[in-house]
């Protein structure tokens, strides 16, 4: 047996040993890189934005859906070691469209802004029938219904006591959400109407009849003619058909 033949098996064994060790090294190195690049999933970040919006919405509002916009899958977000911080560019709690900032305060930090859409409903007062301009709102003319919140009906009413006795600024068709811009304070005194005048000071209070020369709402000053003296005075509208003056 030659010297070359004696060492050939040992050489083959060393080759496979080196190959095995090299493979282990590359696997270890690849796993280390993967561990170093553990990322925050886009779904986790979007969920944080949705949860922030949900937490801001008042309890009397029904949430139909809250959906966060998509995040570019090519963007890498390092796994955050602490809870994600969320904030909004809005200063109100009722909106259909939000922009939510999501931030990780690790070193180095990262942040992203995500658009969020919300479908919300709320009980609102709606006209039952046609309400003509100048007509005073009464309970039989309105109803409470669940309505989707939009930019057009944000200034709505949910409490019937806030609109009873007000006056329609313009004609309101049936099944319309009642908004603050549709109403005004009703006239408590109308022109040419007979009113009761209260005249008072610290010691004395007297009453007399007069005739309104102007329409008047609550706390407005209007001209009144005293029916006895025929003098024209300025009086404060205090109640339906009642005005007051000081002397």
**CATH level 3 topology of 194-246:** SH3 type barrels. (2.30.30)
Check: CB of residue 180 under 8 Å from CB of residue 159.
no
User: Could you tell me which of 148, 136, 157, 78 has the C-alpha nearest to residue 112?
Assistant: 78
What one-character DSSP code corresponds to residue 153?
G
Nearest to 171 by CA among 108, 127, 121: 127
How many residues are given for the chain? 247
Residues 66 and 70: their CA atoms lie apart, in Å, by 13
What is the CATH architecture of 122-185? Alpha-Beta Complex (3.90)
Q: What is the pLDDT of residues 218-228, one digit of tens each?
A: 889 999 999 99
pLDDT number for residue 211: 95
Which pLDDT score, from 0 to 100, does residue 12 have?
52
- Residues 44 and 81 sit within 8 Å (Cβ to Cβ): no
- The DSSP code for 69 is P
Question: What are the tens digits of pLDDT across the range 143-202?
Answer: 999 999 877 666 888 899 889 888 999 999 999 999 989 998 888 899 999 999 998 887
Q: What is the DSSP letter of 108?
A: S
Evaluate whether 122-185 and 194-246 have a shared fold.
no
Beta bridge partners of 195: 210
Cβ-Cβ contacts under 8 Å for 108 (sequence gap 6 or more): none
CA 49/CA 76 separation, integer angstroms: 17
Quote the pLDDT of residue 37: 53
> What confidence score (pLDDT) does residue 13 get?
52
For the stretch 172-189, pLDDT in tens is 999 999 998 999 888 889
Q: What is the pLDDT of residue 8?
A: 52
Instruction: Quote the pLDDT of residue 152.
Output: 66
Give how far Cα 120 sits from Cα of 13, 40, 67, 167, Å. 72, 29, 12, 29
Sequence spans of domains, the chain: 42-120, 122-185, 194-246
Q: Which two tokens stand for residue 135?
A: 């007509």
- Report, as ranges of residue numbers, the positions in the chain whose pLDDT lies below 50: 1-7, 15-36
Q: Is the dihedral of CA 126, 128, 130, 132 positive or negative?
A: negative
What six digits make up the tokens of 184?
């005004």
């Amino acid at each position: 047996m030659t010297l070359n033949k004696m060492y050939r098996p040992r050489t083959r064994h060393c080759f496979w040993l080196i190959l095995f060790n090299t493979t282990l090294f590359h696997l270890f190195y690849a796993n280390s890189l993967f561990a170093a690049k553990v990322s925050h999933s886009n779904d986790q970040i979007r969920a944080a934005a949705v949860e922030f919006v949900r937490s801001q919405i008042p309890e009397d509002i029904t949430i139909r859906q809250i959906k966060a916009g998509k995040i570019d899958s090519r963007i890498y977000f390092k796994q955050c070691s602490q809870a994600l911080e969320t904030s909004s560019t809005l200063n109100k709690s009722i909106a259909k469209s939000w922009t939510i900032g999501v931030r990780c305060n690790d070193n180095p930090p990262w942040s992203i802004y995500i658009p969020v859409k919300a479908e919300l409903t709320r009980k609102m007062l709606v006209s039952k029938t046609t309400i003509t301009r100048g007509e005073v709102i009464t309970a039989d003319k309105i109803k409470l219904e669940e309505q989707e919140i939009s930019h057009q009906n944000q200034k709505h009413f949910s409490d019937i006591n806030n609109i009873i006795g007000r006056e329609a600024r313009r004609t309101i068709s049936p099944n319309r959400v009642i908004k603050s811009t549709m109403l005004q304070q009703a006239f408590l005194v109308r022109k040419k109407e007979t009113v009761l005048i209260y005249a008072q000071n610290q010691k004395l209070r007297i009453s007399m009849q007069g005739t309104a020369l102007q329409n008047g709402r609550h706390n407005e000053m209007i001209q009144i003619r005293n029916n006895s003296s025929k003098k024209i005075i300025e009086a404060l509208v205090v109640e339906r058909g009642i005005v007051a003056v000081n002397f």
